A and B are shown apart, each in its own frame.
Chain A
């Protein structure tokens, strides 16, 4: 039976067979994350609502094809949202939120200290803390690539830096984040 304690995978399975209750629980579980991501990228409420609605409708429609072996439900939903937001920004030729502002709002929502986040297995907080530790130029490059989908060439042009420097910032920054995420996973597996 579907209820508020059902796993994401169970809810998606329910949605795949047209279970309306599963859809309601899923929407209520994810709407703030989806809307929050879109708003953080656009700083535009109406665009964010459009994107968030479309993202959740796509999840609802595509639930039957979700493959848990390719990643978590959260990653899937947020990636759909991210891509739709990038599309919306391009279509409107709108200026996205500055990566520094995106990072600042993310780090403001860090509710616990990093060690607590690791112990709780909260990957979002682990990454928030790891982002805060990155040198600003690496943090900016990683966010431009991971959130806004900018290529190394685009980052080099936008930031006015050599292509090699952009690549190094992206790579070094992501490797550091990987360290934090994998450390968190190891702690989680030991528990």
Chain B
């Protein structure tokens, strides 16, 4: 054992706790003082700190309650009302991102928010991507309809216009599970694939950029992985 190692020994055992931010009192003060004068321990502490920081990053991503953004942006003073969800960060968000295991309350509230939004003229005053002031834009539901499975209502579809048309869908108590595809059929009979999403025990709530003009949409379908149409909504 070298003299240097002997010098470090009393402190190196504290480095993990120091990195985790849980070392207290004299031990903390003494270890910090040693690290200040020991390059080896400073490097060790840096590496342990990276590992400690990374532990909180392992928590799974979860979709917040529907309406989370609206409430947050209002608190931040960024908007007077609900904000279209898919407008700016589609690349990272990914269409129809639904987090597996999303709590039931989130799914139930999705339907409530859809109901709340339908027919309302929503003020949107979030800044534009360039950062310039965005004029308040009226964004109202173009159409809303029930998703039907074997004649039973199992969800809701609502389409929205404005600068970035989008669609909001919810499924509740349907037979759908696993990876599903959302398709819309436009006036001219063409079917457009909007994206894929997942349902857990027949429940799902999601939104996505619409890709087509909302007023042209006549039908929305939820299609299973084997191509079976599970639920349909007529939007006219």
Contacts and interface: CB of A to CB of B under 8 A. Distances in A.
Partners in one complex: yes
Interface string B3-42: 0000000000100110111111000000000000000000
Nearest to A61: B76
Interface string B102-141: 0101100000000000000000001111110010000000
B53 interface: yes
Contacts, number: 200
B64 to A, nearest CB: 4
B72 A109 contact: no
B51 A109 contact: no
Interface size class of B (residues with CB under 8 A): 35 or more
A40 B75 CA distance: 24
Nearest to B15: A171
Contacts of B128: 21
A140 interface: no
Contacts of A65: none
Nearest to A168: B13
Given A174-B16, A181-B50, A29 B89 contact: yes
B57 interface: yes
A151 interface: yes
A146 B126 CA distance: 37
Interface of A: 1-5, 14, 19-25, 27-29, 31-33, 35-37, 39-41, 45, 48-49, 52-53, 56-57, 60, 71-72, 74-75, 78-79, 81-82, 102, 105-109, 123-124, 126-128, 131, 142-143, 145-147, 149-152, 167, 170-171, 174-175, 177-178, 180-182, 185
11 contacts: A4-B91, A14-B131, A27-B69, A27-B73, A52-B68, A75-B57, A78-B57, A145-B17, A147-B59, A178-B51, A182-B47
